[in-house]
Chains A and B, each alone.
Chain A
Amino acid sequence: MTTLRRFVADDLFKFNNVNLDPLTETYNISFYLQYMAQWPDYFVAAEAPSGSCMGYVMGKAEGAGKLWHGHVTAVTVAPECRRLGLAEELMEILETVSEKIYNGYFVDLFVRVSNKVAIGMYEKFGYSVYRRVLGYYSGADSEDAFDMRKALPRDVRKESIVPLPHPVRPEDLEW
């Protein structure tokens, strides 16, 4: 009982029940609008029958050559709508867009190393840790991130997900 549709600018006025979650960042206006302007298919909202926001996923395509890939910038679900398989559906959409519209080699994402729930979830969806990024999250709650990846069909030999043996620093990231 979910309506999945493109996220629109007006949704920013009503996504509070989702964004008041401590693990969900609220960015500035241009951050969201830039995604909508540049990758409109990658930003999907889940709407409840009442019209309230249940969650959303935002992503983008980036990279070059064999590193051309889809990236999950945020996936989040309102506390009252969790464990219904919504994150799974949203991630499936993002993977479809990465594969069908952008034809990428893999999908990747960053997650706080302490966010056990999300890490477990991504593993269940077929993602694996590619490398650790030291001090990726800065500010008051500074923390390392895992860079997790899942290969798409275009990466036939699954080269993109072979884990790196050593952690890297944020300045070493390609994108």
Chain B
Amino acid sequence: MSALDRQLRPIYEALDSYNNKQAVALCTKALKKGENQTIKALKAVALDRLGKEDEALEICDEIKRTRPTDDAVLQYICMVYKASKKTQDVIDVYTAAYNQAPRNEELANHWFMALVRVDDRKQMQQAAMKIQKQFKDNSRYLFWTIMTIWLQRVRQAKNGPEGTKGMLATLTERMLIKAAEDGRIKDYEALQLYIEVLETHGKTTDALAVINGEMGNLCKVQADRKHIVARLCKANKSWGPLRAVSKELLLASPDDWLSYCNYIEALIQILRETTDADSRSNIIEQARSLFSVLESKASSGKRTKRGPLLAGLELEKALQTNKLQEADLPKLSGLVMEYLEKFGSNLSCFDDVRPYLSLVPANDFDGLFQELQKIDAKGLTIASVRRLVTIEKIRRWSDTKLTADEANARAEHYIAAYKATVPLGADFDERELQPGDDYILLLAHTLLDRHAQKRGVFFAVVYQSRGDFACSSDTAAEDRSMLADVAAVLEYGLARSKFNYQIKLLLIRVYVELGKKLFLDIVLSIDAMRIDICAGVHKRMFDVAKTMDIKQIQHDTLSYLFTDDIELLGCPETSLRALVTSLTIYGSNERETPEMIVQAFKFGTYSKIPEFIRFRDRLKNSLQYNVSQRQLYRVEILRRFPALDNLGYYLEILDENILSFSDDYISKLSDNRDLTLLANWTSSGKPIGEVVSGTAFPRKRDAWLKLHALIPLILRGMCTEGAPLPADDLTDLKRAINEAQEQNEDSEQLTAADILLEVAGAVVAARTHADTSASPGKWDSKTWTGILDRLKRASFHPFESILLRLFA
């Protein structure tokens, strides 16, 4: 062991065990004996971990000036730079190192990757080209160059200047053609890149020649190769070949849905181009007989596949909607019935046939519905229950509006049916769904419908008494108790099926709605005794949410289900925790995804590079990110009041980037919320969340995002004494309020914003016109009584109004 190693080992050990203090001490001691860059750099790492960022950076800068080339030293100081988000320093350090040692391949790689992390595509290209020249034999650098040019073209695809775009495109293509000629396309990923580039330039014929040629052998799985051919044929509008290759794919794998769709699309196009009636019916017959061959193939294996039969339906539907054939309702109806007969006890059956239900004459289902009436609890099996549930869903789908009596009868039927199924699932693993779970949901949906109809009445009452903003406690109580019934039903089902996420999600939405109403009651002082119940509702809501174990990317896609409106529930501490947790994913994205783009370069997985970049951008520009951050600001501001210093300080550190509110900014946000998750089996397809809340759910956020960017910004202006209040913000706020009004935003939210506008206007006037001693006291007393009056009325909306009292 060398002397240096002997010094280094305890330092590494200290760092590995996160004993950072000791690591610093060891470094300092070692450095006293003599200068050493590795030890210095390690000291910086340890200091940084101790939170002594400034000292750490100072050391790094010192090392940086000596233009180090030692790999370890570079890595350590870059760790510190990265932690402080000093990406430019990372690039500078590696650029300098590479220039001094251009033959060091490892350094070259580090340099390039540093550029990849910050996504500077022009510099990436220049670096890749230099490296490629230096290490000519390694094809990987050639592809880095090609990729970096391609990425510039991808970035410009939307709004770049045509000339540059064309140039980048041609350059990429030419380099790939040359690479192909030189035999440098040697793996599937490189081949895919080549094909994608040709395809994007509309050169599908060339691309087809490539995949069908020698190089196509790089694709080792035959079906994958044929799928590429199909994709290209489709882009090329070569319908004959598309039909042929889809047929081949289907014969090999009769459940391949994409190939059915391609086949049918090709068929429709071919039919359109065929004028002769006989040939047309001939072509159609060919398709039908192919599907029946596939069907017998698919049922000869150990398991009958659903594909061919469903594809038959898809074919008939396509023929009809494209008016290529007289509507043959009995035929369609027959196919749907056959499907139900064969696959009715699959859980997915209803979703499978849903697209075709509207083609079946309503009465044709009557026979099936008869079956529902006579449930023989003893004869039930899991399969028969599933079949019954499928039919129940179809009945719900067919329902026109039920009368109150019908709805009651239906509800009772669901309860009885559910109870009959309970024994069947008694021995199930608790992690599996219970056979009758969907009865619980059907029941809850039915009750929610009834609640929604009644809500119209409640609203009318509130509206009439708008003057004092109180609705009679009777109607409010009825409203609440209907929701509580739904919650009880769902809890009942959940007790027997502990992991059913459908039940949980709906329950959460019902609790949020109930919580909002209870909180409103408290603020309105209709029933101050309800505070405990209200807290109980919040607690249960969060407990259920917690059992769902929402994490990572789900924070972006699913949080809205339990954080939408959370700021209106009057439970700031819990809301805060939920919001802060949900925001963690965006930090992870910033940290992790660039590293993964680096990995894709490293492994030469070219197809994944643009894919990962797109993914990173979707998360970075997430709509939900903007919503959660604004909600968090709202809750925090409320929580800090009335400690004014604290509030003022908080307002100063708001992140202005995320509080952007231009139309352009908002329209570019990516809506990643998973809206498909909650089941609803009605034909209107109205999201069940909307049925629960009676408003758009999730909320429309365009105007909201503007309002809730402007409100904190304006509050900040008002709280910072002496600071000029930007009058522009007020104009923007006025505009945002108008917009929100047009979009029917909740009026209570708008009242508060409206008042803010008025108060802020007064502050602006006071600050600009009066001398420094201006104070609200000097304002026109009439203005003040007006404002105070409105404040009182808006008092059911605690947030802004409390804040505004500050100025009263």
How many Å lie between the Cα of A17 and that of B677 in the bound state? 7
Instruction: Closest B residue to A54 by CB, please name it.
Output: B348
Binds B, one of A35-43, A151-159, A161-169: A35-43
Minimum distance in angstroms from A45 CB to a CB of chain B: 12
Size of the A side of the interface (Cβ < 8 Å), in residues, is: 47
How many Å lie between the Cα of A104 and that of B305 in the bound state? 30
Map CB proximity to A onto B523-544 as digits: 1 under 8 Å, 0 otherwise: 0000000000000000000000
A142 at the interface (CB under 8 A from B): no
Q: Flag if B346 contacts A20 (CB, 8 Å).
A: no
Q: Flag if A12 contacts B615 (CB, 8 Å).
A: yes
Q: Flag if A1 contacts B612 (CB, 8 Å).
A: no
| Additional A-B contact list (9), CB under 8 Å, known A8-B611, A29-B553 | A12-B615, A13-B674, A14-B676, A29-B552, A29-B592, A37-B596, A40-B189, A48-B351, A116-B429
Q: Flag if B676 contacts A52 (CB, 8 Å).
A: yes
Minimum distance in angstroms from B305 CB to a CB of chain A: 8
Minimum distance in angstroms from A36 CB to a CB of chain B: 5
Q: Flag if A38 contacts B255 (CB, 8 Å).
A: no
A138 at the interface (CB under 8 A from B): no
Which parts of A24-83 form the interface with B (CB within 8 Å)?
Answer: 26-30, 33-34, 36-38, 40-41, 47-50, 52, 79-83
Residues of B within 8 A of A126 (CB): none
CB < 8 Å neighbour of B589 from A20, A23, A29? A29
Instruction: Closest A residue to B428 by CB, please name it.
Output: A117
B256 at the interface (CB under 8 A from A): yes
B551 at the interface (CB under 8 A from A): yes
Q: Flag if A30 contacts B554 (CB, 8 Å).
A: no
Number of A-B contacts (CB under 8 A): 144
Minimum distance in angstroms from B310 CB to a CB of chain A: 5
Main DSSP-derived SS at the B contact region? helix
Instruction: Closest B residue to A53 by CB, please name it.
Output: B676
Q: Flag if A29 contacts B257 (CB, 8 Å).
A: no
B618 at the interface (CB under 8 A from A): yes
Q: Flag if B605 contacts A38 (CB, 8 Å).
A: yes
A10 at the interface (CB under 8 A from B): yes
How many Å lie between the Cα of A160 and that of B305 in the bound state? 34
Residues of chain A whose beta carbon lies under 8 Å from any beta carbon of chain B = 1-5, 8-10, 12-14, 16-17, 19-23, 26-30, 33-34, 36-38, 40-41, 47-50, 52, 79-85, 96, 100-101, 116-117
Size of the B side of the interface (Cβ < 8 Å), in residues, is: 61
Residues of A within 8 A of B260 (CB): 1
Residues of B within 8 A of A23 (CB): 431
CB < 8 Å neighbour of B551 from A9, A12, A26? A26
Most buried by A among B256, B433, B554, B607: B554
Residues of A within 8 A of B346 (CB): 83-84
Query: Which 7 A-B residue pairs are closest in the complex by CB-CB distance?
Result: A33-B596, A9-B615, A20-B501, A37-B599, A30-B592, A3-B258, A1-B307
How many Å lie between the Cα of A41 and that of B187 in the bound state? 13
Residues of A within 8 A of B797 (CB): none
Q: Flag if B592 contacts A40 (CB, 8 Å).
A: no
Map CB proximity to A onto B560-600 as digits: 1 under 8 Å, 0 otherwise: 00000000000000000000000001001100110110011
Q: Flag if A26 contacts B552 (CB, 8 Å).
A: yes
